[in-house]
Structure 1
């Protein structure tokens, strides 16, 4: 249908998971997709898939923890391809230590930088051109951890995802009359490579009932491809079935705890 023909879309964390699937779907609808991430290999693989399907994609390595790199990358994209019409803030990470009791300030700051501050920096980089044109779409993948924070994602991750939800609400309330569509997507547990980094990586049968990255990508495409006069401020998407996460939470509770913590269970 080519709903996004002529549009330029920037997707962060595009090498795997939700970012990968979102980039492929956006390209199928005619967008030229700029794939960004820290590793060139996965980005190039996604670009190859898109081109083989008849789409257009370019790869740009980008560390979103580096504000100067964000500014330079957006400027280079605008000079080479034109102004960015769609920004998909997908990249994110969780701290290794999940319990606020043991979490270091450095790990707290690093988690907020990737999940919250980077979204601010990317938005600030693309916003002037969007306002000048009177249209633009900014989609941020937050998490249901923003609404139900716990030890699965950890203290820093939940706080960052709640913060980014608030920031997107600010964008919606402030710039909607200037044609800017700001959408927050809040997925539940999704079977992506980040699950391998959990304190207790989920078993295959547990992953089987999680969301598939393609499900979340379809939500991204929906929000990006609506007619200009319509937008979705916030979208929740979760697995149909709830799983028992008590073992995951108990394992996560003690990551990073010193060996001499008085109440730490014997292992």
Structure 2
């Protein structure tokens, strides 16, 4: 255990798996009290268990970021239980089944934008309101290289939503810098999570596919994603504001 985030309270949405879980574990290892949020209580409980077994402090709040009342309750619960909200990582998101624009159904588009865009906006809205009234804080939004940096056929809905996440982050960064709130975005490419598997693809097949796609010859690990989040949340990146940090193995180079 180290102390880079000792005394800090960090909220991680989508903390029940993938980059969210790895980020929660990393914050806890570095001294933060971590609250993980998401829709599936079982997954959140597993993250809490892993943190506590390693000697860290963790809590879980079940919430749907696409529901305004849930997000308001989530932020209020974090503050009520732990007395502060210093760091917020807005990681929860949705990846729809690929479909070209003319074949994309309205329900899928609305759901994608509702979770990835509206959900991120709702999260920032309530996080900023607390931080603005209590001396500032740090917000890291998790976007994607798809949309803002890379175009993939069939991923128009997802790409549009993640490009909007980056745009929202830049706007918030400019609007609230004077309030001591620092907002940045992390844009990863495929990471070692089930979300990066194509339909019917095995992990071994994904490894082979990545060799021909990424200059580094592999996809990223969730620990590498977590490390980037922690840097953006730390004082080491104190001069980074409104930044969109790409970690993609060179695929957009």
Return the TM-score normalized by structure 2: 0.88
Distance of 2:238 and 2:175 partners within structure 1: 16
| Count of residues paired in the alignment | 240
Gaps of 5+ in 1: 243-267
SS in 1 for 2:140: strand
Shift of 1:151: 2.6
Aligned to 1:161: 162
Distance of 2:25 and 2:104 partners within structure 1: 36
Which stretch has the larger CA shift, 118-127 or 59-68? 59-68
Shift of 1:46: 1.2
Which stretch has the larger CA shift, 32-41 or 159-168? 32-41
SS in 1 for 2:23: helix
- Pairing 1:1-267 to 2, within 5 Å after superposition: 1-146=2-147, 147-151=149-153, 154-196=155-197, 198-199=198-199, 201=201, 203-205=205-207, 206=209, 209-226=218-235, 229-232=238-241, 233-240=243-250
SS in 2 for 1:230: coil
Which stretch has the larger CA shift, 200-209 or 8-17? 200-209
Shift of 1:134: 2.4
Distance of 1:182 and 1:72 partners within structure 2: 22
Gaps of 5+ in 2: 212-217
8 Å contact from structure 1 (residues 191, 207) kept in 2: no
Distance of 1:73 and 1:83 partners within structure 2: 13
Ranges of 4+ aligned residues in structure 1 off by more than 6 Å: none
Distance of 1:52 and 1:173 partners within structure 2: 40
Shift of 1:91: 1.1
- RMSD over aligned CA atoms reads 1.9
8 Å contact from structure 1 (residues 16, 193) kept in 2: no
Distance of 1:18 and 1:158 partners within structure 2: 19
Shift of 1:161: 0.4
Greater C-alpha Rg: 1
Aligned to 2:215: none
